[in-house]
Structure 1
Amino acid sequence: MSQVKTNFFLTGATGYIGGTVLTRFLAHPRANSFQFTVLVRDPKKAEVFKELGVTAVVGSHSDAELVERLASQADVVISIADCDDVGAAKATLQGLRKRGASGTVPIFIHTSGAGVIFDDAKGIHSDAMIYDDSDADQIETIAPTQMHRDVDLLITAADTEGYIKSYIIVPTSVWGLATGRLVDSGVQNPHSMLIPILVKAALDRGQAGMVGEGKNIWHNVEIHELADLYITVYDKIVADPDTGHGRNGFYFGESGKHLLYAVSKEIGTALVALKKSDSAEPTMFTQADLNKYFRGSSFLGSNSRCRATRARAIGWKPTKSTSDMLASIRPEMEVLIKKNTGSAT
């Protein structure tokens, strides 16, 4: 008798977070009972996924009809692509509504972003609201105009309607080089966004930089431990269908916190060690720098403060610290330099 499989539709499979999450699921103890479908643009990458036993559909997230169809066939959707893509979110929800009409309420695990709790500190202070993922009333005070919030609200509204169960994972500053089968096969991006963007700016300007005085605080999480949070959430849902969802279904991914200054200073120290700069001390980004490297935005000067109380309560156990994050900067910088120049020195 053939085994009944759980059908997953995962978006963002070639990305830093999405590829790492998929790799973790493919190594899950019950992986033989999972069937994953991913949506990719590159036919060559699609072939690699197929070799790994993953159904790969070539297409775009902007193809609403395709996204809706794939979601309608899924028991579980895990979205880890563009968390601001309202069109893709609506198409996914429409597909899940159709799936739910068959009598089983599907699961939607969505990836939001740390921008949902950004302020506008511009690097001047760290005094900011600390959001707790176990406090649904506090989460609901986040303004609907906040970054990423429009998509989050669409998804929790669908949960309130009852045709899905939604779980929103909010990664903080994700760090570390991703590893695993998808990285080895060349289909997955192994780099985060935040530290590399600061590294690339520092290499170009010859000195580490920061927004304002670098006094703002972000929380952080190591990439593989973040992927473990997705596994923990899914396993908890299976073990206990009453696991917090909807307004009670926000899960922050955080295991440490840092000042922007500390990250920039570590970048500066690495620059000096690699003979790319004469000074380890970061300097303030000018408006011209912000325009050149960050599209004019001072978002790196914001505070993004939270507690992963609910995430830990369901069994997530991250162990990596801010010290580990800081220690990862020089090795990743060396990889980035080698990719760009063919040499780490």
Structure 2
Amino acid sequence: MGDLDSLTVLEEESRSADIVINCAPDITHDSGIGAVLSGLEGGGPTASTGQREQGQGGRKGFYIHTSGAATFYDEPGGVRGERVYDDMADMDEILGTAPTKTHMATDDLVRSAHPAVNVAIVSPPGIGGISPSAEHPVPLVTSVLHSTARAFGSGFQIARGENVSGWVHVLDLARAFGLLVDDALGALRQGGAAASAASAAATAAAAAAPADPAGFPLWGPRAYYFASGEEVAFRDLQGAIVPVLYGHGVIPSQAVRSVTHTEAARTCLAGGTDYDPDAPLPPPDSWVVHLATWFGVNMRIRPSRLLALGWKPERSTLEAWKEAFEIYLGGLKE
């Protein structure tokens, strides 16, 4: 049907939707995200043909955007950091973060669609666990953890691997999205009932305000939700995956090697091919440098907003890595 560069398709499909959930990569795809927001601003299933042609929607659409907590990681030194960001207590600081930080420019683009669109941003840290998706059943970082360990010939960590990151199980994350979708559906149902009893002139503008069950707006420029279920030190992550890689012959021992961020970036880039210690580093904003940085940073967050809405994480990502690698390595043999 299209991709994030199919701007006309994105805008037209969004114009005919009440709710859009964007779980696609946000970095470097602002034009596609802008097309979705533009469609939601000018549409809705209750809009007449004339209203759509004039950019006047039938009712206010809902947009749920997937961002990421990488905005708040620190330096990749492999040591434990104590700072924990809270999506209620630290909201002003979050909103004031420089647009040069990862995800922030796109997050600001999403916020700018308010009040024409009901917007909410969900910001997970690492996403783990097994998904029912046929296309992506294992975490997206599985392949880079595999290829980097293969290139090193061992497990690896930055310095002592004491850095801590939040993680959320993919099914717990899905329930977080579900809370927002339920709230949006409730508002749409109420708006539809109000519109059916109103005059034709009022129908185009009818839309119930979303509920605020926890005492704060679920939608709007401050609707930013961390989604984290547990904290895991990188060395503990390696402790979960190294035995599996060793058992499958990917690495020759269960040793875990301490490396620098630069070594990790070059080895991650090599991905199991010949490693050149003198090779130039990839560009600072490249995906491989982001991944190598993740190996050594702290990314600690507290999901106070979701917890206030009754969301509770139910699954561990650390316990799921063995199954994830069994699935991934089995797929490589097919």
Check whether TM > 0.5: yes
8 Å contact from structure 1 (residues 107, 164) kept in 2:
yes
1:152 & 1:89 partners in 2: Cα distance? 10
- Aligned AA for 1:157? S
Q: 2:333 aligns with which of 334, 337, 341?
A: 341
- Given candidates 227, 236, 250, the residue that maps to 1:262 is 236
Determine the C-alpha separation between the residues in 1 that align with 2:36 and 2:61. 11
* CA offsets 1:73-113 (integer angstroms, 9 cap, x no match): 11111111121211111111211121272241110111001
| Cα distance in structure 2, aligned partners of 1:223 and 1:73 | 28
User: Higher strand proportion, which one?
Assistant: 1
Q: Find out whether 1:175 has 2:150 as its counterpart.
A: no
Shift of 1:71: 1.2
Give 1:117 deviation, angstroms. 1.7
CA contact (8 A) 1:269 1:280 kept: no
Aligned CA RMSD, in angstroms, stands at 2.1
Aligned residues, how many? 273
Equivalent residues in 2 for 1:1-345, closer than 5 Å: 58-84=1-27, 85-99=29-43, 101-128=56-83, 130-135=84-89, 136-159=91-114, 162-179=115-132, 182-183=133-134, 188-239=135-186, 241-243=210-212, 244-275=218-249, 276-284=251-259, 287-294=262-269, 295-297=288-290, 298-300=292-294, 301-320=296-315, 324-342=316-334
The higher radius of gyration belongs to 2
The alpha-carbon deviation at position 258 of structure 1 amounts to: 0.8
Q: CA deviation at 1:215?
A: 1.9
Higher relative contact order (CA 8 A, sep 6+): 2
- Shift of residue 232, structure 1, vs aligned partner: 1.3
Contact 2:156 2:258 in 1 (8 A): yes
Q: 1: distance between equivalents of 2:289 and 2:306? A: 34
Structure 2 distance, partners of 1:289, 1:260, is: 13
Give the deviation of 1:285 after TM superposition. Answer: 5.2
Note the alpha carbon deviations across 1:168-218, whole angstroms, 9 max, x for none. Answer: 111111111212xx52xxxx2212123442133213432111233322111
Long gaps (5+) in structure 1:
1-57
Q: Secondary structure at the match of 1:59?
A: coil
> Which residue identity does 2:117 align to in structure 1?
I
CA 1:314–1:145 in structure 2 vs 1: closer, same or farther (change >3 Å)?
Answer: same
**2 CA distance for matches of 1:124 and 1:281?**
16
Structure 1 233/168 Cα, relative in aligned 2: closer, same or farther at 3 Å? same
Runs of 5+ unmatched residues, structure 2: 45-55, 188-209, 213-217, 270-287
Q: 1:285 to 1:267 in 2, by over 3 A?
A: farther
TM score, norm. by length of structure 2: 0.75
CA–CA distance in structure 2, aligned partners of residues 285 and 264 of structure 1: 16
Name the % identity: 24
Deviates more, 1:308-317 or 1:266-275: 266-275
Q: How far off is 1:155 after superposition? A: 0.9
Give the ranges of 4+ consecutive aligned residues of structure 1 lying more than 4 Å apart after TM superposition.
none
Q: What one-letter code is carried by the residue in structure 2 that aligns with 1:290?
A: A
Aligned-partner residue type, residue 268 of structure 2 = Y
> Structure 2 vs 1, CA of residues 336 and 285 (structure 1 numbering), >3 Å: closer, same or farther?
farther
